[in-house]
Every structure is written in structure tokens, then in C-alpha cells.
């Protein structure tokens, strides 16, 4: 019995010293982004399904963050659709050679030779994630993919309405 009490007292004493030690207390604080060295977090450090759209800010993913040729993505692009003529963001585009608006809210992105357009293409709206939509709809051009953008709203009776429109910039990934 005496041995069990001594062990308990020793455990409490060690815990008290650890908690009052300034080094231990400092280490126990929350680690922020300023505490993490650039390029030190890898995909193995991030658990599946833990990152959300709110964790990724517009402009935070750059071309260097995507590994082309490593089996993950063969082409990607950021399409700026808010002007009269849609444009590709050169810093965040790889193996997409051009974009044209073929009708209201419908775009044709021509892919570089050798990129397979028959795989599942991922398209996502930029910024207004809650009220915009972008989706791959078809093939187009010589080796192109077609993307349609829409603005979403809630109408009478709570029905979800979508309007095809030109003002939705978007991102595409081609595996």
C-alpha cells in the first residue's frame, strides 16, 4: 500500500514540475503557421479528409505545389473569367494552352499534346464557393475540355436555382 501511495505522489510531483516549467508550458501553447518553416509540411503530415475549402485561400496554391508527371496531375489551370475575354493565369497553369468562351458561361480549354482529356476532370469555382459552380461537361476542340460555370441562388419555396454566367472564375485539374 505504501509503495502505491509513493508512486502516486511521485507522479503528481513530476506532473506539477512539468506544468510549471516555462519551457514545457511554452511548448504546450498552440502552434501557429508562423511556427512552421516553409515547405516543411508534407502530404504525409496531413490526414485524409482534414483540409477544407476554408483552409485553402485563393492564391495560396501555386504551380510549384502541384507535381506534374508524378502521377497526380497532368494539366491544370486557373481561368480568370471576369473580363470580356477569359484568360489563363500563367503562374497557375500547366499544359493548358488556351481558353475560349464558346457561349455564356461555357469555356473550351485546349490541352497540350499528350494530355489525356478522357479522364475525369475536376473543375471548381474560385472564391464564391457557396454560390457558384463549375463543372466539366464535355470534350471540345482538338484536345480540349469544356467547362460550364453557374451562379447559384435560392428561389421561392427554397428551390435552388442556377444561372449560367460569365463572371465565375475557376480552376481545373486533369489527372
Write out pLDDT tens, residues 48-101. Answer: 555 554 455 545 555 455 444 445 789 999 999 987 899 999 999 999 999 999
- Please compute the mean of the pLDDT values over residues 138-164 and round it to a whole number: 89
> Who wins on pLDDT, 131 or 29?
131
Three-state secondary structure of the chain? CHHHHHHHHHHHHHHHHHHHCHHHHHHCCCCCHHHCCCCCCCHHHCCCCCCCHHHCCCCCCCHHHCCECCCCECEEEEEECCCCCCEECHHHCECEEEEEEEECCEEEEEECCCCCCCCCCEEEECCCCCCEEEEEEEEECCCEEEEEEEEEEECHHHCEEEEECCCCCEEEEEC
> Who wins on pLDDT, 125 or 23?
125
pLDDT interval class at 155 (50, 70, 90): confident
Does 120 have pLDDT greater than 60? yes
pTM of this prediction exceeds 0.75: no
- The span from the CA of 68 to the CA of 88, in Å, is 18
CA-based angle 112:116:118, to the nearest 5?
Answer: 130
In this prediction, what percent of the chain has a pLDDT beyond 90? 34
- Please compute the mean of the pLDDT values over residues 139-151 and round it to a whole number: 93
As a whole number of Å, the end-to-end CA separation of the chain is 65
Range in 31-45, 73-87, 115-129 the model is least confident about: 31-45
Note whether 111 and 76 are within 8 A (CB).
Answer: no
pLDDT interval class at 22 (50, 70, 90): low
- Please compute the mean of the pLDDT values over residues 129-142 and round it to a whole number: 86
Amino acid at each position: 500500500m505504501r509503495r502505491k501511495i509513493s508512486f502516486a505522489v511521485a507522479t503528481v510531483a513530476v506532473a506539477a514540475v512539468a506544468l510549471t516549467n516555462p519551457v514545457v508550458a511554452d511548448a504546450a501553447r498552440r502552434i501557429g503557421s508562423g511556427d512552421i518553416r516553409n515547405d516543411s509540411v508534407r502530404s504525409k503530415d496531413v490526414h485524409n479528409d482534414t483540409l477544407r475549402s476554408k483552409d485553402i485561400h485563393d492564391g495560396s496554391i501555386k504551380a510549384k505545389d502541384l507535381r506534374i508527371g508524378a502521377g497526380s496531375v497532368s494539366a491544370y489551370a486557373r481561368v480568370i473569367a471576369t473580363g470580356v475575354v477569359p484568360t489563363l493565369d500563367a503562374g497557375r497553369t500547366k499544359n493548358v494552352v488556351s481558353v475560349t468562351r464558346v457561349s455564356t458561361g461555357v469555356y473550351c480549354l485546349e490541352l497540350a499534346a499528350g494530355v489525356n482529356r478522357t479522364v475525369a476532370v475536376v473543375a471548381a469555382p474560385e472564391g464564391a464557393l457557396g454560390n457558384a459552380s463549375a463543372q466539366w461537361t464535355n470534350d471540345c476542340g482538338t484536345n480540349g475540355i469544356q467547362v460550364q460555370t453557374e451562379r447559384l441562388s435560392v428561389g421561392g419555396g427554397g428551390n435552388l436555382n442556377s444561372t449560367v454566367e460569365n463572371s465565375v472564375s475557376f480552376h481545373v485539374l486533369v489527372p
